[in-house]
Structure 1
Amino acid sequence: MSLSFGNVHGQSKTLDAYLKEGLANNLLLQEKNLTLQRALNAMEVAKSMYLPAIDLDVAYSHAKGGRSIELPVGDLLNPVYNTLNALTQSQAFPQIGNETINFLPQNYYDAKIRTVMPLLNTDLGYNKRIKAATVKLQENEVEVYKRELIKEIKSAYYQYLTAVQVQEIYRSSWVLAQEGLRVNQKLLDAGKGLPAYVIRAQSEIAAIEAQLAGAEKNIKNAKLYFNMLLNREADAEVLDDDLLGKDELWSLEDWGEVDASAREELKSLETGIAIQESVLKMNKQYVVPKISGFFDLGSQAEGLKFNNDSRYFMVGLSMKMPIFQGNRNRLKVQEAKVDLANSRNKKAQVEQQLAMAIGIARNEVLAAFKNLGKAKTQLDAASTYQRLIQKGFAAGVNTYMETIDARNEYTQAKLSETISKLQILAALANLERESATYQIP
């Protein structure tokens, strides 16, 4: 029997609304989305590496002392100047002194705008592809958590509905027990009843009230967990649309085959393989040189001067290519090959595990439907038995203890049917999660 369950969540508009609310407000999902945004930003950074980088670089320095060089310009030129002054009968050529030039600049600045443009760099292309693949990984991770959250919200909602139904069953039993106490007390007052029956009725009522208290606790706990998943106030009201009462949900139909091909986990593994392939190709390109060009436009001078003599421009190319790296590049290639083989092996393992999980989930659905059929048969029999015993008690044929036994049997059968419905819904939600068939809005 092939199974499908796409109709189940569509049968409840209330549950659909809660799923949308959970997907919009869940805190952990918001954290996942922020991680995805970080990956998107990293991808944009990788794209921007193709664009030129323009930087303002300003340096100022002032020094005294240190190494210097003596320039005897006075000793060299003064005799010449004396001869010229004597020939011209003037002082047109004054005397000059020797100079001492320091190697360290004094009151010196160098301000420039540098533009660097990558011309040949294979790493940039591979890095861009890797970042884009990383974004896909994060997107898949978000989708994986969404599916898990949907399953948890559905399961929590079904738990709440079941707890409410269980409480109603116990209330109905309590009403019948109260009626039994009233009848037995009336018979005792008329001298036709037994005190033991009154005591037994009171004990039965106390036991049911204890069960009601437990049911109330289960409702509160289920509501707390459900509201936590939706990031709501702890005591926020949870609407009950009588999903468990929809008869059309409890028939097993041949709705089509399900498999794991849509699982985001497999898509992530395929993306991881693509990343490893890119890393391997990138590592193999280590012999390709990296070439970039630069253009400087600036000014440099001592004394903070800025004029035609201080302004300059410079253009150039730079190239980097490994000559000897201690065989590290080849080892990186080997390491990338191992990582790639490991990723492919892991994908094969996960495919087997997911196929097994879907098979188990499908069997759980089949078993849950079978259990519901048996529970309905048991409930019909218990209902008929209780009705006959009640008539017999009214006619004086059956004892009061038999009516208690019949009522307990009916209560347990009703609880079994309700729990069986919960098991079907939970099994369908699990199968839906394992096959990733829910259409996430």
Structure 2
Amino acid sequence: MRAFSLLFLLGCLLPNARAQHLEEYIQTALANNLELSQQEFSYQEAQARLDQAKALFWPKVSINGRYSLAEGGRTIDFPVGDLVNPAYQNLNRVNQFISGNDPTYPAYPTYAPINNEQTSFLRATEQETTIRLEMPVYNQALLHNRQIQENLVGASEATLAGFRRQLAKDVEQAYYTYAQAYYGRQILADALALVRENLRTTQSLQTYHQATAADVYTAEAQVAGILQELAVARQREQSAQAYFNTLLNRDYTAAIQLPAATVEAPLSALSVTAAQQQAFQQRAELQQLNFYLAAAEQQRKIATGNRLPTVNLRTDYGVQGTTYSFGADDDFVMASVVFAIPLFDRSTSAKVQEATLAQQRLGAQKAAAEQQIGLQIVNQYYALTAAQEQIKQAKARRTAAGEAFRLQQRLYEQGQSNQVTWQNARTNLTTAEQQLVIAQYNYLIQLAEWEWASGE
């Protein structure tokens, strides 16, 4: 019997937790999964922000220019004419008097009167163009900001690593879910062949008046019942196939290769305590919170550092004037030391308090996460142990049901058993086979969950 042979193989040999093709599928998912690509972009963004924080320590060079046109505004009067015109008039009279009495006196020109001057504070045209070099000398905020970004990169990297582990677990569980659905459908397909053969035999017996019409209807009902179950099983298989291929970013109907060879999958060697300690070291959630705590400490130092001075260097070289010219008298250079010393800022204390509270909140969040992970490990361990026990009992049930059906089949063929008894034996065998497949792959699904939870 094909169904019995299939389940004999599945019952004696449990599929390996890392089947032949599973690793390849996991690598395909890690390379193609769209959600993982989003996480990788987030990690690259964090790295770019770190590069920006590091760049703040480098000198900055810029060209700054200003060209202005002005009209109106305040003016200032210079009484030049009022000051020098009386002197010019006296000189003109003296020159005129002397030249009239002495023909040898030189002919000096007559001094023309000078008007008073009015000058605008704003030049009609003015420009200033400089090349500026700036760099920080002492600024604790820049140092702590760089350390914050380094911790945020670490947190993003931990998130990315955690998502990869989560994706690998999802692919593994989806693979086993598909295998569970596939072999479940195969069991029903084998059962369908069995009940169809029974229907053919019953119809033949009716021809020779050795079976009644009721027997034929009963056999037909068995076929219809299996077909009904098979339709549901086929839908489950197709849904599992589509979900698995979605994780790999493949066509929904792409074929999935199931393991051809199987080995025993033992219970994890880790104890609950060892698994908890390993999870506390390896789980991405806790690593991420550690980086956030370190970043919060640097944020507190930034808030505290608002009381410290800052010192920068600045050098300008350029030209200025009413027009653009580059003569020796047009360029200039100016070097400055720019510093700021905070004396009083009431908001600094509030910022320090805010940063301290953020640290405390993250510490409480980490403690709660460790508690939840510890509880998760305990629950997963007992669930894994129960799943292994279910396999043991399902094997025993399948063996007993298979032997019972074998005996009933012989009696039925010899005419010593009725169709109802045969049908019950066949139904019990099919159910036992299905439950064994479910138990086997539930164990592997649970094992993948345990390995993920414990950080293996």
Q: Per-residue CA shift, 1:193-231, capped at 9, x if unaligned?
A: 222111111110111111111111111111111111111
Match 1:53 to one of 44, 47, 60: 60
Q: Per-residue CA shift, 1:338-393, capped at 9, x if unaligned?
A: 22222222211111110110111111110000001000000000000000111111
Q: Distance in 1 between matches of 2:204 and 2:52?
A: 86
CA contact (8 A) 2:16 2:262 kept: no
Q: Distance in 1 between matches of 2:301 and 2:138?
A: 16
Q: Distance in 2 between matches of 1:286 and 1:198?
A: 92
Q: Per-residue CA shift, 1:208-265, capped at 9, x if unaligned?
A: 11111111111111111111111111222222224xx72422x446466423121011
Going from structure 1 to structure 2, the CA distance change for 1:216 and 1:186 (only over 3 Å counts) comes to: same
Q: Distance in 2 between matches of 1:96 and 1:307?
A: 32
**How far 1:93 sits from its partner (Å)?**
6.6
Match 2:206 to one of 172, 184, 188: 188
SS, match of residue 282 in structure 2? coil
With 151-160 and 385-394 compared, the bigger mean Cα shift is at: 151-160
Larger Rg over CA atoms: 2
| 1:289 maps to 2:309 | yes
CA contact (8 A) 2:17 2:444 kept: no
SS, match of residue 287 in structure 1? coil
Going from structure 1 to structure 2, the CA distance change for 1:316 and 1:330 (only over 3 Å counts) comes to: same
Match 1:248 to one of 249, 255, 264: 264
With 87-96 and 405-414 compared, the bigger mean Cα shift is at: 87-96
Matched residue, 1:22: 29
SS, match of residue 427 in structure 2? helix
SS, match of residue 166 in structure 2? helix
With 337-346 and 59-68 compared, the bigger mean Cα shift is at: 337-346
For 1:111-260, list aligned pairs within 5 A: 111-242=129-260, 246-249=262-265, 251-252=266-267, 254=269, 257-259=274-276, 260=279
Q: Per-residue CA shift, 1:128-179, capped at 9, x if unaligned?
A: 0000000011111111211221121111111111111011100111111011
With 375-384 and 422-431 compared, the bigger mean Cα shift is at: 422-431
Superposition CA RMSD, Å: 2.0
| 1:310 maps to 2:317 | no
Going from structure 1 to structure 2, the CA distance change for 1:68 and 1:8 (only over 3 Å counts) comes to: farther
Q: Distance in 2 between matches of 1:354 and 1:23?
A: 25
| 1:76 maps to 2:83 | yes
Going from structure 1 to structure 2, the CA distance change for 1:57 and 1:17 (only over 3 Å counts) comes to: same
Q: Distance in 1 between matches of 2:450 and 2:183?
A: 24
Matched residue, 1:394: 413
Q: Distance in 1 between matches of 2:25 and 2:114?
A: 95
Q: Distance in 2 between matches of 1:16 and 1:177?
A: 39
**How far 1:282 sits from its partner (Å)?**
2.2
Unpaired runs of 5+ in structure 1? 1-6
CA contact (8 A) 1:22 1:231 kept: yes
CA contact (8 A) 2:81 2:114 kept: yes
Q: Distance in 1 between matches of 2:307 and 2:268?
A: 62
Match 1:298 to one of 314, 318, 340: 318
Q: Distance in 1 between matches of 2:230 and 2:419?
A: 23
Going from structure 1 to structure 2, the CA distance change for 1:98 and 1:308 (only over 3 Å counts) comes to: farther
| 1:106 maps to 2:124 | yes
Give the partner amino acid of 1:318.
V
Q: Distance in 1 between matches of 2:143 and 2:297?
A: 13
Matched residue, 2:8: none
With 310-319 and 127-136 compared, the bigger mean Cα shift is at: 310-319
**How far 1:91 sits from its partner (Å)?**
3.1
**How far 1:328 sits from its partner (Å)?**
1.3
Match 2:391 to one of 364, 369, 372: 372
Q: Distance in 2 between matches of 1:184 and 1:99?
A: 130
Going from structure 1 to structure 2, the CA distance change for 1:388 and 1:8 (only over 3 Å counts) comes to: closer
Q: Distance in 2 between matches of 1:253 and 1:151?
A: 16
With 167-176 and 86-95 compared, the bigger mean Cα shift is at: 86-95
Matched residue, 1:3: none
Unpaired runs of 5+ in structure 2? 1-14, 96-104
Q: Distance in 2 between matches of 1:151 and 1:38?
A: 26
Q: Distance in 1 between matches of 2:270 and 2:413?
A: 50
With 30-39 and 303-312 compared, the bigger mean Cα shift is at: 303-312
Match 2:289 to one of 254, 261, 269: 269
CA contact (8 A) 1:19 1:150 kept: yes
SS, match of residue 258 in structure 1? helix
Give the partner amino acid of 1:395.
Q
Matched residue, 2:51: 44
Q: Distance in 2 between matches of 1:88 and 1:336?
A: 90
SS, match of residue 62 in structure 2? strand
Q: Per-residue CA shift, 1:16-37, capped at 9, x if unaligned?
A: 0110111111111111111111
Q: Distance in 1 between matches of 2:332 and 2:87?
A: 36
CA contact (8 A) 2:313 2:337 kept: yes
CA contact (8 A) 1:63 1:105 kept: yes
With 180-189 and 19-28 compared, the bigger mean Cα shift is at: 180-189
Q: Per-residue CA shift, 1:392-418, capped at 9, x if unaligned?
A: 112221111111110000000000000
Q: Distance in 2 between matches of 1:8 and 1:55?
A: 64
Q: Distance in 2 between matches of 1:138 and 1:232?
A: 27
CA contact (8 A) 1:295 1:315 kept: yes
Give the partner amino acid of 1:132.
E
**How far 1:96 sits from its partner (Å)?**
4.0
With 67-76 and 93-102 compared, the bigger mean Cα shift is at: 93-102
